[in-house]
Amino acid sequence: MVYHGARDPINETILVVEDELNMRRVLRAMLSREGYHVQLAKDGVDAVQQLMVQPSRVVLADLKMPRMDGMELLEHIQQHHPAIPVVILTAFGTVDTAVEALKKGAFDYITKPFDQDDLLMTLRKAVKSTEWNVQEIGAGREDLRIIGQSPPMMKIYETIEKVADTPTTILLTGETGTGKELIAKALHLRSSRHRGPFIHINCGAIPETLVESELFGHEKGAFTGAVSTKPGRFELANGGTLFLDEIGEISREMQVKLLHVLQEQSFERVGGLATIRVNVRLIAASNRDLYQGVKAGDFREDLFYRLNVMPIHVPPLRVRREDIPLLVDYFLQKFNNMLNRNVREMEDRAMEALISCPWPGNIRELENLVERLVVLASGPVIRWEDLPAEVRGDKVPQVVRGIGEEEDLSLRKAVEQKTTEVERHLISRALSRFKGNITRAAEYLGVSRRGLQMKMRKYGLRK
């Protein structure tokens, strides 16, 4: 899409979000006197709307507000405007919540009644924190750190630095939990559009009929339920980055529409006539091999090449096991801080077990396990015995469990029974994964369509 290079429309704009009129006035007067450009919002919802139109340098938000409170607003900003620091204003007595906000990534908090100098100093620091050069942006944000020193990760960092600040469309591929979303955010934060919005849409999670209006918006009355005009994600992402997650899930029909938009660099809202042009950087992601999809005829080849301008493949954790100890240490720290615990380390034997685990859910799975271990830890060291059996690797393989426990089976019979069970399970899982699409399920399972249909009859599986 159109790319305008570096821009800095907001010199030192501070968005003040406060529900009390008088307080808003006081803050405006005080901050304007200091030379800031002040924008006012009366609650979180109002702030979200204003940020869509005009990003600001820093947000100063009250905690207690009607409709959307400061905490929810903080979460929204972290998600959609990760480069904007948020300073929380809180009444004396709700400091606990303020500390909670710090843990969630707020820049700092100030208690009311506040000391003017204190507030001004904090805001100055917050503004300053955004004055990094683009490479460093987000470096202070713990939750945006990318951990890993393995060769494939080093290569990814190199690519991020090279392509972040270009208008090039990027296609991120990799298994579930490998860090695609994290990398998409890193790319946004290291581009000159980092103060613009980062808009995420998970194409796989939206009902097929709604994808078009979610992406392009709709006019009032365009279809039943369209009670008011609504901008789509392309419009919301104007001046920033649009992250099209699980792009492999969109229908053929939507693929055609998306291709058209990418070629024309413009679109219309559903039910609308006006042509809308936006300045958006696209990052698409898929945990399926899109090229396989092209070969199977599920994904349009022309759209694939439009998206695949700059591919970044994020490898699964099992091919970069040397990153596991770093990740474990990082997550231990993270959950210690979050849960107020003091787990110092993993016993060597426990770490070795973690290193040799296959991690089908990749980093997300490892992260969840470390969180569980920190919650359950009874001392400063996590021992091998604390690990779940499947991670320790000493469990009877699940597939053999239950065999021959009730009756004595011959080896042949036992294998036959288990094969049947496994086969039925895999087929039914593939069918539900591909929503009953036999062609795709067959391709996924590596069997012919006819073969799959026979098995389905055998096991009484309907699509």
Ligand X SMILES: Nc1ncnc2c1ncn2[C@@H]1O[C@H](COP(=O)(O)OP(=O)(O)OP(=O)(O)O)[C@@H](O)[C@H]1O
Chain residues binding ligand X by CB under 6 A are 146-148, 174, 176-182, 287, 363-364, 367
Chosen from ligand X, Mg ion, none, partner binding at 182 (C-beta under 5 to 8 Å by type): ligand X
Cβ proximity to ligand X: between 31 and 163 the closer is 163
| Binding segment (CB under 5 A) for Mg ion, from list 47-55, 84-92, 180-188, 434-442 | 180-188
Cβ proximity to ligand X: between 232 and 248 the closer is 248
Quote the CA–CA distance of 62 and 111 in Å, as a whole number. 10
Cβ proximity to ligand X: between 97 and 176 the closer is 176
Torsion region of 429: left, alpha or beta (phi above 0 gives left; psi -120 to 50 gives alpha): alpha
- Tell whether residue 249 is a contact of Mg ion (CB under 5 A): no
Q: How far is the CB of 181 from ligand X (least distance, A)?
A: 3
Q: How far is the CB of 202 from Mg ion (least distance, A)?
A: 7
Cβ proximity to ligand X: between 161 and 181 the closer is 181
**Complete DSSP assignment for 174-208:** -STTSSHHHHHHHHHHTSTTTTS-EEEEEGGGS-H
**Per-position b or e across 131-155, b if 16+ CB within 10 A of its CB:** eeebeebbeebeebeeebebeebee
| Binding segment (CB under 5 A) for Mg ion, from list 26-34, 178-186, 256-264, 433-441 | 178-186
Chosen from Mg ion, ligand X, none, partner binding at 147 (C-beta under 5 to 8 Å by type): ligand X
Chosen from Mg ion, ligand X, none, partner binding at 427 (C-beta under 5 to 8 Å by type): none
Q: Which helix (H) or strand (E) holds 62?
A: strand 58-62
Residues in a beta bridge with 171 = 284, 311
Decide the pairing of beta strands 230-231 and 217-218: antiparallel
Cβ proximity to ligand X: between 125 and 364 the closer is 364
* Binding-site size, Mg ion (CB under 5 A): 1
Q: How far is the CB of 317 from ligand X (least distance, A)?
A: 9
Q: How far is the CB of 184 from Mg ion (least distance, A)?
A: 8
Nearest to 244 by CA among 308, 162, 315: 308
Return the DSSP state at 319. G
**Phi and psi angles of residue 59, each rounded to the nearest 5 degrees, phi first:** -115, 130
Query: Measured in Å, how far apart are the chain's first and last C-alpha atoms?
Result: 41
Q: How far is the CB of 306 from ligand X (least distance, A)?
A: 21
Dmax over CA atoms of the chain, in Å, equals: 88
Are the C-beta atoms of residues 128 and 106 closer than 8 Å to each other? no
Looking at the chain, how many residues does it have?
A: 463
Q: How far is the CB of 232 from Mg ion (least distance, A)?
A: 20
Q: How far is the CB of 195 from ligand X (least distance, A)?
A: 22
Cβ proximity to ligand X: between 212 and 367 the closer is 367
Quote the CA–CA distance of 422 and 244 in Å, as a whole number. 35
- CB proximity list for 107: less than 8 A, separation 6 or greater: 58, 85, 86, 87, 122, 125, 126, 129
Q: How far is the CB of 177 from ligand X (least distance, A)?
A: 5
Cβ proximity to Mg ion: between 181 and 352 the closer is 181
Q: Pick one of 12, 100, 181, 249: the residue that binds Mg ion (CB under 5 A).
A: 181
Cβ proximity to ligand X: between 247 and 261 the closer is 247
Quote the CA–CA distance of 216 and 271 in Å, as a whole number. 10
Tell me which residue has its CB nearest to ligand X.
179
Quote the CA–CA distance of 40 and 32 in Å, as a whole number. 12
Tokens of 45: 């919802």
Chosen from ligand X, Mg ion, none, partner binding at 178 (C-beta under 5 to 8 Å by type): ligand X
**Phi and psi angles of residue 310, each rounded to the nearest 5 degrees, phi first:** -130, 95
Cβ proximity to Mg ion: between 181 and 365 the closer is 181
**Alpha helices (runs of H) in 377-410, residue ranges in sequence order:** 389-392
Chosen from Mg ion, ligand X, none, partner binding at 363 (C-beta under 5 to 8 Å by type): ligand X
Q: How far is the CB of 416 from Mg ion (least distance, A)?
A: 40
Q: Which helix (H) or strand (E) holds 17?
A: strand 13-17
Tell me which residue has its CB nearest to Mg ion.
181
Cβ proximity to ligand X: between 211 and 270 the closer is 211
- Tell whether residue 100 is a contact of Mg ion (CB under 5 A): no
Chosen from ligand X, Mg ion, none, partner binding at 146 (C-beta under 5 to 8 Å by type): ligand X
Question: Which residues of the shown chain bind Mg ion in the complex (CB under 5 A)?
Answer: 181
